[in-house]
Chain A
Amino acid sequence: MDLDRLKQIEPWCWTVPRAPGEARGDVRLYGSRELLATMDDKVLEQITNVARLPGLVGAAMTMPDAHWGYGFPIGGVAAFDPDQGGIISAGGVGFDISCGIRCLRTNLDVAELAPHLRMLADRLFRDIPAGVGEEGELKLAPVELDAVLEGGAQWAVEQGYGEAGDLDFVEERGRVAGAVPENVSPLAKKRQRGEMGTLGSGNHYLEVQVVDRIYDEAAALAYGLRPGQIVVSIHCGSRGLGHQIGTDYLVSLAKAASRLGIRLPDRELACAPINTPEGQQYIGAMNAGINCALANRQILAHLTRKTFAREFPHAKLTTLFDVSHNTCKTERHAVDGSKRLLYVHRKGATRAFGPGHPDLPERYRDVGQPVIIGGSMGTGSYVLCGTSESEQRAFSSASHGAGRAMSRHQALRQWQGRQLINELAGQGILIRTRSMRGAAEEAPGAYKDVDLVAEATEKAGLARRVAFLRPKACVKG
């Protein structure tokens, strides 16, 4: 990214000055000079386009892990006021609606795990459907699926997948209100038939990790994390159903925008005013997609527990937290001294409520919401906690991952899957995948330095580092 086009307004925050007469909202880019310099210029173009959408409140923002997306940049955050003509954008949510991370803490230590790691990795790979073309055992007819779309993770718990206590540590207690299954197309429901309880592919994974470093003792205590402890992170989303909702509404909203008189700077921003039938229809479908993702991760958490129980009968896996990072959520935020109901798009960005937020579970209320920055399979991930100042800075939002540093094709030219897997095995990280190509595309070197992203997230005041998780075994989709 050409930094000459930016103006640094704080050590870790930049803006794009408006040209004379240019009508758009503010833009904020969070990150270090180093991170911003390596971002594609398309990030700047895309977030500037977002700032031109009607009803924007505050600034259109990018998180430190931002990269070129479609419509919104990945790592983009923007809030809209329905009473000021604010819009809902399918491009601001993405195809993989409510993609996110379920993090499970265990009562196991790395020393206890070590002799069993290979067997555990093999069993997880056998038990967790992962990769293109793989289906789960649970087959749901469209009518049955409607209950999932209404009930989310709560439905899954009622069906025996996991424990009721899990729901305390899932956003919206596992079920977002306002889902309208009727707004989801029959094809979307058919696509999901064999996909409940599946991981998917691309950057999705199930990773066994060890708590390697603690940055914040008090928050780590509240989160139940200690050095040497084994945790499991599951990264996936709403699978075929969410993909089809995105597909269906991307084109229909692009057409609606024109019909409704919205001049889109780029039609990939496909959107409609929130207070229109078109906008409401997408919101109902998107919420159904969110519930589908929450149910999917709940089922995967259950499958993971079953596999651990076979290898470690005394193992106890409890939900640390479940965060979504491809959503638009209805939230109350303080704007110019008053609370306003806003529709906050987070496309590749994590909600990061600070201490005292009423939506947080009691256990975390004093320290803030757990935020998970998923890194690559060779480097590691971070657990952070939401901060009070993030509310003013970014509507309580933070980074969601390391963010890609190069394209998938560049990665394919640079790495070979088998060779990479062998190298990681040499470092004590076991990779299990059906896709050598996928492994090469997901090479650790294809991602930004997750340490820099986590540091920038903290220094920018978006979330504070609590713990670093180092990978031990990874099932890649």
Chain B
Amino acid sequence: MSSTANEDSYSYFEHDADVGVIGRGDTLERAFEAAARATFAIMTDIATVRQAESVPVEFEETDPELALVRWLNSLLGSAREHGMVFGHFRIERDGGHWRGSASGEKWRPELERGVEVKGATLTALSVRQLAGGWDARCVVDV
């Protein structure tokens, strides 16, 4: 569950009962993708997830912070709807319109079982542009 070296990084911050996820990237979109990897890495080793199927994600949201919550929750909802686990994410935005995709596979016995993420919350929610890029974070309920 450590940050990946070959992609924009993700990491975690402390929360008593749940888990804080952090996504960082050169752009807001890449930070969102890294936050998605952080979220799904709580559930399994995402490096072992095959890109067998891709699922589209689309929503409208003008507030970047609420967009992060919408993005993560759309992915969590879609994964559960399809009985899948995702490991790879893409998202782009056009103003308040966000369009992306997640790819992964159905759960199979060989995949590591971590802990289910129920949803992304508004707790410790922030999306900021820092000197080195973008930082997107919030607490997810597990």
Contacts and interface: CB of A to CB of B under 8 A. Distances in A.
Interface of A: 40, 42, 67-71, 74, 91, 94-96, 131-135, 187, 190-191, 193-195, 200-202, 240, 243-244, 246-247, 250-251, 254-255, 267-268, 270, 404, 406-410, 412, 434-435, 437-438, 441, 477
Interface of B: 1, 12, 14-19, 43-44, 66, 69-70, 73, 76-77, 80-81, 83, 85, 107, 111-116, 118-123, 125, 139, 141-142
Given A435-B114, A438-B115, A70 B83 contact: no
Given A70-B139, A244-B77, A435-B113, A250 B122 contact: yes
Contacts of B44: 132
B142 A408 contact: yes
B141 A407 contact: no
Nearest to B63: A255
Contacts of B139: 70
Contacts of A193: 81
Given A135-B83, A202-B115, 16 more contacts: A68-B17, A91-B121, A133-B43, A133-B116, A201-B113, A244-B119, A250-B121, A250-B122, A251-B66, A251-B69, A407-B14, A408-B17, A409-B14, A409-B19, A435-B115, A437-B113
Contacts of A95: 118-119, 121, 141
Contacts of A270: 122
Contact of A407 (B1, B16, B80): B16
Contacts of A194: 83
Contacts of B18: 69-70, 408
Contact of B80 (A69, A191, A408): A191
B115 A68 contact: no
Nearest 4 pairs between A and B by C-beta?
Answer: A133-B107, A70-B123, A132-B116, A68-B16
20 contacts: A68-B15, A69-B123, A70-B121, A132-B113, A132-B114, A194-B83, A202-B118, A240-B80, A243-B80, A246-B118, A246-B119, A246-B141, A247-B77, A254-B66, A268-B122, A270-B122, A407-B14, A407-B15, A410-B14, A438-B114
Contacts of A131: 113, 116
A323 B120 CA distance: 26
A247 B59 CA distance: 14
A76 to B, nearest CB: 12
Given A191-B81, A267-B122, A404-B17, A437 B1 contact: yes
B108 to A, nearest CB: 9
A133 B122 contact: no
Contact of A202 (B66, B116, B122): B116
A415 to B, nearest CB: 14
Contacts of A74: 16-17
A385 to B, nearest CB: 27
A438 B122 CA distance: 24
Nearest to A46: B123
Most interface-central of B1, B17, B69 (chain A CB within 10 A): B17
Given A95-B141, A247-B77, A438 B16 contact: no
Contacts of B112: 437
